[in-house]
């Protein structure tokens, strides 16, 4: 033989295969082939050191401590019978509760998006006054709002394929500057 020290034999009594890429069990630290490396396949006596699982109650989502040698299903069942703090009357509250007030829109949002003019609650799509036909107190739109409207309508004035803004946009912008000061 050319390389007598190369590889190791599988520690499983029924296997003893010579493996040139042996794997070491992290619990019992014995060497195994790829077919016997899992805890179940070589019946590892030290698997309790590494294979620790904490079951969670399916009702109250509380981790349940399990002692060595106890069956997790029985312990969780006992918890559900005695200590579980689950109350079916306190069902999980829905996150998306803020309904859009735009007529015909059925969207709900996680956060309130209140219009500054009419103080109504709207979805992201209808949050701007022009998007929900705002009939608010007649206050003027802020500079940032006007700029957003102009950017949105800019594509209507700009010829396709052109990087230059049309003169209509500049006229509108200058008119706004004169109006707002």
User: What whole-number distance in Å separates Cα of residue 168 and Cα of residue 176?
Assistant: 12
161, pLDDT greater than 60: no
CA distances from 165 to 10, 149, 159, 174 (A): 75, 15, 9, 14
pLDDT digits (tens, 9 = 90+) for 1-16: 566 678 899 999 899 8
Model pTM? Answer: 0.32
pLDDT score, position 73: 86
Work out the average pLDDT over 54-79: 86
pLDDT score, position 44: 87
Work out the average pLDDT over 150-155: 65
Question: Among the ranges 13-22, 83-92, 148-157, 162-171, which has the highest mean pLDDT value?
Answer: 13-22
What integer best gives the mean pLDDT of the chain?
77
pLDDT score, position 156: 55
pLDDT digits (tens, 9 = 90+) for 122-145: 898 988 888 888 876 655 566 677
Residue 139 CA neighbour count, 13 Å, CB half: 12
Q: Cα-flanking dihedrals φ and ψ of residue 168, to 5°?
A: -60, -40
With contact defined as beta carbons under 8 Å apart, do 119 and 127 qualify? no
Among 88-92, 114-118, 121-125, 149-153, the least confident range: 88-92
pLDDT score, position 10: 92
């Amino acid at each position: 033989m050319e390389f007598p020290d190369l590889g190791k034999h599988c520690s499983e009594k029924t296997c003893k295969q010579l493996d040139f890429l042996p794997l070491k069990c992290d619990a019992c630290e014995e060497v195994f082939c790829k077919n016997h490396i899992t805890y179940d396949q070589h019946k590892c006596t030290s698997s309790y050191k590494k294979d620790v699982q904490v079951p969670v109650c399916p009702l109250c989502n509380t981790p349940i401590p399990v002692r060595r040698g106890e069956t997790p299903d029985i312990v969780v069942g006992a918890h559900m019978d005695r200590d579980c703090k689950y109350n079916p009357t306190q069902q999980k509250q829905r996150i998306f509760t803020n309904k859009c007030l735009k007529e015909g829109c059925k969207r709900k949002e996680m956060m309130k998006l209140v219009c500054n003019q009419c103080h109504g609650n709207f979805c992201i799509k209808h949050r701007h006054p022009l998007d929900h036909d705002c009939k608010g107190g007649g206050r003027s739109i802020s500079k940032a709002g006007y700029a957003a409207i102009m950017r949105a309508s800019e594509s209507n004035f700009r010829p396709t394929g052109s990087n230059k803004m049309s003169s209509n946009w500049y006229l509108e912008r200058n008119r706004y500057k004169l109006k707002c000061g």
